[in-house]
Structure 1
Amino acid sequence: MIRLSQEHFQTIRTHAESIYPDECCGIILGYLASEGKIVVEVMPTENVWNTEAAAEFPGDRTTESKRRQYTIAPEIMLKTQKQARDRSLNIIGIFHSHPDHPAIPSECDRLYAWQGYSYIIVSVQNGKAEELRSWSLDDHHQFQAEVIENIT
């Protein structure tokens, strides 16, 4: 389970709508508790997907665009991890949007996902953020739906 506030939901939706028709992305900071992952902050980031970023991934992904791919700059991930550690937090997940597609992970999402993280996907239909779902990898590297709880 992952627990987010209404403010966190709104930040994700607003970022997704502002970047549409491209995929948005961002980092989720928080901590693990007995009741699941507790989100403290969602941090929108720039989608830096480009031909150079595509070259870092196996296969020919150079034809993909920001409308169907996202990547967060490695230096942003590292900087955020260090800042989170200073605040006694961790990166507990990543969020991104699926423009004009359902909030269901793609095969590419699965291939590049990291165990232990939550992956929140928001479906953006015609510029309007709609369904928002969370996923996490099981022991067989397959996505399983993760319960989202709204905290106040």
Structure 2
Amino acid sequence: MLKLSESIYNAMRKHGEETYPHECCGVLLGRSHDGMNVVEDALRASNTRTDSAHNRYHIAPQELIRIQRQGRERGLDIVGFYHSHPDHPAQWSMTDFAEAHWLGCSYVITAVEKGAAQQTNSFRLTGTSEDDKSFEDETIQVEELVAGRC
């Protein structure tokens, strides 16, 4: 299960709308326990793909290292990644699978149709190595914002 706040969920979806017709991408920071990835922050990343930004994304290694360091300074780990699929379903592609390497992490995909965020799905990368990795559908639990709560 992937657990995150309504504001983080909405921010990921808005990011996809803002970058349309290109894919957006970002990193989810939080904690993983009891089979659940709990997201405490979503950091936007630059899509460095210049050849196919409309249907591919890439986060530069330097940016990923910087984000990972920021998380560690706050006591958080990388628990997932997100990206958008412009005018395409919120389902992982063979390219998404081939480029997914962070076992145990959640991979969130939002379908953005004609500039508007639609379906958002999450897939957990399971397995013990590249040889037996697989994506499993993952439930997204969005915590609603409650007025008056800090």
TM normalised by structure 2 equals: 0.89
Which stretch of structure 1 is more off in the superposition, 64-73 or 116-125? 64-73
CA deviations 1:38-74 (Å, max 9, x no partner) are 1000111111112xxxxxxxxxxxxx51001000111
Mapping of 1:28-67 within 5 angstroms? 28-34=28-34, 36-50=36-50, 64-67=51-54
Q: Which amino acid aligns with 2:72?
A: R
Contact 2:37–2:105, Cα closer than 8 Å, also in 1: no
Work out which of the residue numbers 141, 144, 150 in structure 2 matches 1:149. 141
Q: Which residue is equivalent to 1:20?
A: 20
The 2-side partners of 1:27 and 1:2 are apart by 14
Name the SS for the 1:37 alignment partner. Answer: strand
Once the 2 structures are TM-superposed, how far is the Cα of residue 35 of structure 1 from its aligned partner?
A: 6.1
Q: Which residue is equivalent to 1:122?
A: 110
Work out which of the residue numbers 45, 50, 59 in structure 2 matches 1:72. 59
- Any stretches of 5+ residues in structure 1 without a counterpart? 51-63
CA deviations 1:100-132 (Å, max 9, x no partner) are 000000001001102111000000011100000
Q: Which amino acid aligns with 1:77?
A: L
Q: Which amino acid aligns with 1:135?
A: F
Once the 2 structures are TM-superposed, how far is the Cα of residue 34 of structure 1 from its aligned partner?
A: 2.8
TM normalised by structure 1 equals: 0.87
- Any stretches of 5+ residues in structure 2 without a counterpart? 145-150
Q: Which amino acid aligns with 2:23?
A: E
CA RMSD of aligned residues (A): 1.1
Identity %: 37
Mapping of 1:68-147 within 5 angstroms? 68-114=55-101, 115-139=103-127, 140-147=132-139
Name the SS for the 1:65 alignment partner. Answer: coil
